[in-house]
Amino acid sequence: MRSNYWTCSKFADWLRGTMKPKAETGEGWHKWNKQAKKSHPFRYWLAEEGLDIIQTTIFYPVDKIYDLKYYINNRFVTRTHSLTAHVRDIRPGSWCDVGNRFLPCLFNELVDFVEIELAWWHVAWDEDARKKFVAPWWAWGWFRWRTWRKPECGLANLEWQRKLIVNDEWADKDHPEYGKPTHQAIKAQEILDLYNWWTIERPKRVDPHEASGWSAYCDERRDDRDEDGEPYGFMGREERTPEEKERVSKMLDECNRLEQAYETEDEEMMIRLIKVRHGLWT
Last residue of a domain, one of 202, 221, 255: 202
pLDDT value of position 24: 84
Answer whether 146's CB lies under 8 Å from 78's CB.
Answer: yes
pLDDT value of position 83: 84
pLDDT value of position 225: 63
Same domain (yes/no): 187, 141: yes
Last residue of a domain, one of 183, 202, 221: 202
pTM above 0.75, yes or no: yes
pLDDT value of position 224: 67
Same domain (yes/no): 99, 212: no
| SS3 call for 222 | helix
For the chain, percent helix, then strand, then coil, each to nearest 5?
65, 0, 35
Same domain (yes/no): 114, 190: yes
Last residue of a domain, one of 146, 175, 202: 202
Same domain (yes/no): 192, 221: no
Same domain (yes/no): 174, 209: no
Full domain range(s) for residue 87? 59-202
Same domain (yes/no): 93, 153: yes
- The series of mean pLDDT values per 10 residues for the chain, 282 residues long, is 77 93 87 92 93 92 81 75 86 90 96 97 95 94 87 98 92 90 97 98 96 89 64 59 89 96 98 97 92
| SS3 call for 57 | helix
pLDDT value of position 68: 83
Query: How many residues in total does the chain contain?
Result: 282
What is the C-alpha R_g of the chain? Answer: 29
Same domain (yes/no): 145, 215: no
Structural domain tally of the chain? 2
Same domain (yes/no): 214, 251: yes
